[in-house]
Amino acid sequence: MTNFLNESQNTLNKAIELLQHNPEWIIRYEDYAKEILKKFDLAKSKKKHFHEWASLYIYMNVSEAKGSLSFSLRYLGQDVAKLKVKKDNVIISTKGLGNNNIRDFGCNICLHNNNWKSKEAKEFRKFFSANLVRLNNSSKGNEEHRVESALLTEFSKKKGKEKALRYIQPVRLAGISRFQMPTPLSASKINELSYSGSHGGGIDILARVGTGRGVKLCIIEVKDENKPSEPPSKVIQQAIAYAVFIRELLRSKAGNDWYKIFGFKSSIPKKLKLVVVCAMPYHPSTDNSFANQILNIGNDELHLHYIYFAEINNRIEKIIFSIDKSSIE
């Protein structure tokens, strides 16, 4: 445990050092927040047009959020179409995605800014409602995105009795889309944390855990494998680095804006507690001793946890987790 805590503290210190030595991110993320919030009311007013349809899920990244009001439509975590709002209409296009749709899913339906309610768009949605399997599994990234999507679907369930892990909901931009939160840090390679500016790594899942005033932001790093070369105690180092960035972001000038974007209506607590999680397939010999450890950053805390899961046919069937009542109060 001493080695783990030393490694975690080193990761934390390195992340802070990189962010302090490369302060360009501060103004950039301040601008991101301003542009996103400009679109918030417009996005909310269009919410009624974005009914998710059987296995097709709506995503938005920062570029899409601060630009035109556009969204990605994904199947098994992979982009299969783009959506855009024009006045009171939603249009859908597969431009630039058609070849991958044929290669990976056998879908040869091409859409060119068709209305969401058009016959062609309905055929497209019907095609992907058949619980298709991916025909091409050559991409490691696609497999991790598939698992992320399955976890997001599980976390998004509304009724607590239907959920293995209660009191968790993904952060959704303007209450509509699954949100991809970028960071200026690259932490995908274990023990190789670096600063990459606008080309940094993204947080796999950003969620909120808890109820009422006790809700906390949760940073989750997802892996589709649980193997000796990348055990949970190593994988969570990546989540720690990204959590450090979120902490620094919330303590920056733009912190209140980002807190609102993340779905909070209250002001940022004086003592900020972030839940930091590695999510991986279950393995009986996994070392879980890092769970419930706390790392301090000034007056703030990072609470470390795990989520282990089993999935069948792209659905999460079982979850084992260390996040308990004390973690979300």
Which one of 101, 128, 155 terminates a domain?
128
Look at residues 203, 220, 212 and name the one whose alpha carbon lies nearest to residue 155.
Answer: 220
**Does the pLDDT at position 4 exceed 70?**
yes
Mean pLDDT of 77-82: 94
Cα separation, 199 vs 55, whole angstroms: 29
Q: For residue range 177-231, what is the model confidence (pLDDT) as tens digits? A: 898 899 999 987 656 899 999 999 999 999 999 988 889 999 999 999 998 888 9
67 & 178 share domain? no
170 & 303 share domain? yes
**Does the pLDDT at position 329 exceed 60?**
no
- The whole domain housing 58 covers 47-128
* The total number of structural domains that make up the chain: 2
286 & 166 share domain? yes
Cβ pair 304, 293 in contact under 8 A = yes
33 & 69 share domain? no
The number of C-alpha atoms within 13 Å of 96 and in the hemisphere containing its C-beta is: 6
For residue 84, the one-letter residue type is K
**Does the pLDDT at position 325 exceed 60?**
no
313 & 189 share domain? yes
* pLDDT confidence tier of residue 328, bands split at 50, 70 and 90: low
In percent, how much of the chain has pLDDT > 70? 95
In this structure, what token pair is assigned to residue 62? Answer: 């920062």
Task: Find the range with the poorest average confidence among 135-149, 155-169, 187-201, 303-317.
Answer: 135-149
Task: Find the range with the poorest average confidence among 47-51, 298-302, 320-324, 325-329.
Answer: 325-329
Cα separation, 63 vs 315, whole angstroms: 29
133 within domain boundaries: no
- Find where tokens 């698992």 sit: 147
105 & 144 share domain? no
DSSP 8-state class, residue 176: T
134 within domain boundaries: no
* pLDDT confidence tier of residue 254, bands split at 50, 70 and 90: very high
Cα separation, 97 vs 82, whole angstroms: 9
Cα separation, 152 vs 178, whole angstroms: 8
89 & 105 share domain? yes
- pLDDT higher for 241 or 141? 241
**Does the pLDDT at position 62 exceed 90?**
no
Cβ pair 101, 74 in contact under 8 A = no
**Does the pLDDT at position 52 exceed 80?**
no
pLDDT at 88: 77
Question: How high is the mean pLDDT of the chain?
Answer: 90
Which one of 79, 99, 128 terminates a domain?
128
73 & 194 share domain? no
144 & 259 share domain? yes
pTM equals 0.93
pLDDT at 32: 94
147 & 274 share domain? yes
Cα separation, 165 vs 308, whole angstroms: 11
145 & 166 share domain? yes
* pLDDT confidence tier of residue 20, bands split at 50, 70 and 90: very high
107 within domain boundaries: yes
pLDDT at 149: 93
20 & 108 share domain? no
